[in-house]
Amino acid sequence: MLKFFRKNEKASRWILIVGMTFLMVSWLVFDKSSSFLTELLIGRATWATTIDGVTVTEGDRARLQQEVRVVGMLGDPTVRALGLDKDPIHWYLLTLEAERAGLVGGAADGQAQLAAMATANKVPERNLLAGLCGEGGQTPTEVFETIAKLNGVLRYVNLVTSGPARLSAPRLEQSAAALLAAVTGELVVLDGVKTKVEVETPTEAALQEQLKEYGEVATGAGKFGFGYRISDRVKMEWLMIPTASITTIAQQSPALTNIELRKYWMEHQTEFPATALSSTADMASFDASRDAVKAKVLTATIAEKSKEISKFISDRMQLSMRGIPQVNGYFTLPADWAAKEFPLAQLAAEVAEKFAIAPPTVQASSESWISPKEVAAIPGLGTATTTRFGAQPVNAGQLVEALREFNQKTTLIAQSGVISPVLQNAAGDLFVFRVTSVEVSHTPASIDIVRDALIADVNRLHRYEKLVGMTSEIQREAFDQGLGAVATTYGTSVEQYRDLRQGEKQFLQYGMKFPGQLPILGSDAAVVKAVVEKAMSLPTSGTRIADMPLSERTLVIPAPEKLAVVVVRIDSITQMNRGEIPALVTNQRFRSVIASDQATGSPQDLFTLEALIARNGFALANPAKEDGADGADGADGADGKKDAPVAPAKAAQ
């Protein structure tokens, strides 16, 4: 072969020229970075689809991977925060939304941004462009277009999260219509408390696990209302002097004799109808005013007697505490104080003897523990107050809550074993109380202390889980036989709801969004939204909603926050008056409500891969193939794994 080339130099030159030309053409045409080879080898096979019917091909996917590599090199903080430099799916869905919002410019926009970046970083523009082309395998024009997409994404993120002023009029009108649409129908609430669903008796292990998880949580304050921490609580006793007893001794006062009443009338005539002061007219005028005068004097006398009794009690309590040292207003009680303290029964006897009234009643909580808040429910005492600590009245519950033993930061001085100041309620009854025992808030030491509550809550959770697993069965019964049959099966009732809205206009115009209340369930914005959205999706022409098949207007909605499943039938929907929309759209407070709905949380919350997939109904054509893709070509999930995300399943309707 070599001899041939040496002897035929002219022929060898032509062979070399043709061969090199062929190699160059092959390299240009079949370079892996070229779009021609991408389309030739990968083809136009469908890679994924969206809810709007958009088809994304395998070729598109390859280009997206190139774009991701380019935006990753740019080091934008928003890109890093959202994770757009790690997943072509994430990048695609966000650029898709930015393009739909009209925020993505052309190659010129990207070129201008590249020039600005080069200037800011003091790097020659051609060097920066060459680096991006080499990393992403893109042409300069494609790099410019990728940067333009990035600009659009940044504008979009800023637009959505920047507040109400940026919301478009169509979005505001659409939101107003959805919030104020009123739905009427019937529902059945299947909760974990009353619903007839058999569940197994909780095991000791299950109860222990429940206590372990929620034992430190205050009663009713945890998830689903779980919580078993024993709150601050006390045992107490109290003495009551009824206003009737005070009135009895006040009525015996010399101030209520005719002479004293007439004297009072003479000195306070401006408070009563004026008359001439002739002897006959004077007598007639007093007789006409006597009842009013007596009532006023009696009221004043009762107030004076109440003060007198209160002072006697306060003085007697001070006497009983004489010799007990104090530090910062608190008494230093001896260890055997329970045996030495002044009995309330003796105080009652002394008050009765001093003022010649029936002995005041003394009551106690006995062996029952009560919390400071439960003190407010004690008849009479619960509403009694004192101004001993300032002009602002303080009630008994506040004094119990302020006990030194509870280590509260307060200016109120109260401690166990010491009788309280005298309190008086609106009826005029007088009270004093003493806390006899204190138990500071703590976690239950064993299951038995809160066993009943634990069993009830675990059963409630298990019933809900079982109901969710029976969703299809519940749905079939509701479709075939109606809500009445469902209510009978599960031992509950059918309830009617009227004009159920996601928000009320009178509140929305002031920037407050209060969804309608559901029978039994109460407030649950997610359930209300599901009902309204289902109603708005029903046909608005032709057949009335009430005449549609049950299967088209009945839905089963889990309410996890309430541990309930709601079966809803829609009978009608009333759209808001279109004439009311302009006033709402221009209302800044209303715009703030919509902005809060659209932009709750951080960009990471709004633009996570999961949120974008759900909004756009993104679904891979071949998820199984994607699972086996390698790190270079596959799409990393939001958690960094190689599992490809798929569109979430829709709730049963």
Tokens of 151: 């600009």
The DSSP-derived string for 116-166 is: HHHHHHT--HHHHHHHHHHHHT--HHHHHHHHHHHHHHHHHHHHHHS-GGG
Determine the Cα–Cα distance for residues 119 and 639; give it in Å rounded to an integer. 36
- What 3 state SS string does 559-584 have? EHHHCEEEEEEEEEEECCCHHHHHHH
Determine the Cα–Cα distance for residues 141 and 321; give it in Å rounded to an integer. 93
Tokens of 292: 């009013």
Residues 332-376 pLDDT 10s: 999 999 889 999 999 999 999 999 999 999 999 877 899 988 998
Whose CA is closest to 465, among 138, 200, 230, 172?
A: 200
Determine the Cα–Cα distance for residues 481 and 493; give it in Å rounded to an integer. 15
- Residue 18's pLDDT band (boundaries 50, 70, 90)? low
Q: What pLDDT score was predicted for residue 317?
A: 93
Amino acid present at 280: T
Residues 437-493 pLDDT 10s: 999 989 998 999 899 999 999 999 999 999 999 999 999 999 999 999 999 999 999
Determine the Cα–Cα distance for residues 164 and 588; give it in Å rounded to an integer. 8
Tokens of 259: 């002479």
Percent of the chain with pLDDT over 70: 79
Residue 169 pLDDT more than 80?
A: no
Determine the Cα–Cα distance for residues 286 and 265; give it in Å rounded to an integer. 7
CA atoms within 13 A on the CB side of 638: 15
Global pTM value: 0.52
Asked if residue 87 lies in contact with residue 61, where contact means CB atoms within 8 angstroms, the answer is no
The H-or-E segment that residue 259 falls in is helix 258-267
Q: What pLDDT score was predicted for residue 538?
A: 85
Residue 509 pLDDT more than 50?
A: yes
Torsion of CA 101, 106, 108, 110, to 10 degrees: 70
Determine the Cα–Cα distance for residues 56 and 619; give it in Å rounded to an integer. 10
- What 3 state SS string does 430-498 have? EEEEEEEEEECCECCCCHHHHHHHHHHHHHHHHHHHHHHHCHHHHHHHHHHHCHHHHHHHCCCCCEEEE
Kindly report each contact of residues 30-38 with a partner whose C-beta sits within 8 Å and lies 24 or more positions away, as own/partner. 32/137, 33/137, 33/138, 35/59, 35/63, 38/62, 38/63
Q: What pLDDT score was predicted for residue 23?
A: 54
Q: Which residue has the higher pLDDT, 33 or 318?
A: 318
CA–centroid distance for 150 within its chain: 34
The label of the residue with tokens 């756009």 reads 616
Q: Which residue has the higher pLDDT, 50 or 309?
A: 309
Q: Which residue has the higher pLDDT, 615 or 161?
A: 615
Residues 551-610 pLDDT 10s: 989 999 999 988 999 999 999 988 876 666 677 666 666 666 666 665 444 556 678 888
Query: Within the chain, how many helices (H) and strands (E) appear?
Result: 29, 15
Tokens of 321: 């505490």
Q: In 575-588, which positions are buried (b, 16+ CB within 10 angstroms) versus exposed (e)?
A: ebeeeebeebbebe
Which range has the worst mean pLDDT, 337-341, 417-421, 611-615, 628-632?
A: 628-632
Which 3 state secondary structure label does DSSP give 330? strand
Residue 637 pLDDT more than 60?
A: no
Q: What pLDDT score was predicted for residue 432?
A: 96
Whose CA is closest to 227, among 237, 213, 238?
A: 213
- Residue 641's pLDDT band (boundaries 50, 70, 90)? very low
Degrees to nearest 5, angle at CA 537 with 531 and 541: 125
Q: Which residue has the higher pLDDT, 481 or 13?
A: 481
Residues 184-226 pLDDT 10s: 999 999 988 878 888 888 899 999 999 999 988 888 788 888 9
Asked if residue 436 lies in contact with residue 417, where contact means CB atoms within 8 angstroms, the answer is yes
- Exposed, middle or buried by CB within 10 Å (0-12, 13-18, 19+), for 2? exposed
Q: Compute the average pLDDT of residues 236-249.
A: 94
Residues 62-113 pLDDT 10s: 899 999 999 888 888 888 888 888 889 999 998 988 888 788 888 899 899 8
Asked if residue 435 lies in contact with residue 168, where contact means CB atoms within 8 angstroms, the answer is no
Q: What pLDDT score was predicted for residue 333?
A: 93
The DSSP-derived string for 163-176 is: -GGG--HHHHHHHH
Q: In 270-280, which positions are buried (b, 16+ CB within 10 angstroms) versus exposed (e)?
A: eebeeeeeeee
Determine the Cα–Cα distance for residues 609 and 365; give it in Å rounded to an integer. 58
Rg (the chain; Cα; Å): 40
Beta bridge partners of 573: 183
Asked if residue 440 lies in contact with residue 416, where contact means CB atoms within 8 angstroms, the answer is no
- Running DSSP on this structure, what letter comes out for residue 223? G
Residue 179 pLDDT more than 60?
A: yes
Residue 649 pLDDT more than 50?
A: no
Q: Compute the average pLDDT of residues 219-246.
A: 90
Beta bridge partners of 185: 497, 570
Cβ neighbors of 393 (< 8 A, separation 6 or more) are: 385, 386, 387
Q: Which residue has the higher pLDDT, 12 or 536?
A: 536
- Exposed, middle or buried by CB within 10 Å (0-12, 13-18, 19+), for 75? exposed
The H-or-E segment that residue 236 falls in is strand 233-241
Determine the Cα–Cα distance for residues 470 and 494; give it in Å rounded to an integer. 19
- Residue 16's pLDDT band (boundaries 50, 70, 90)? low
Tokens of 462: 């298990």
CA–centroid distance for 612 within its chain: 23
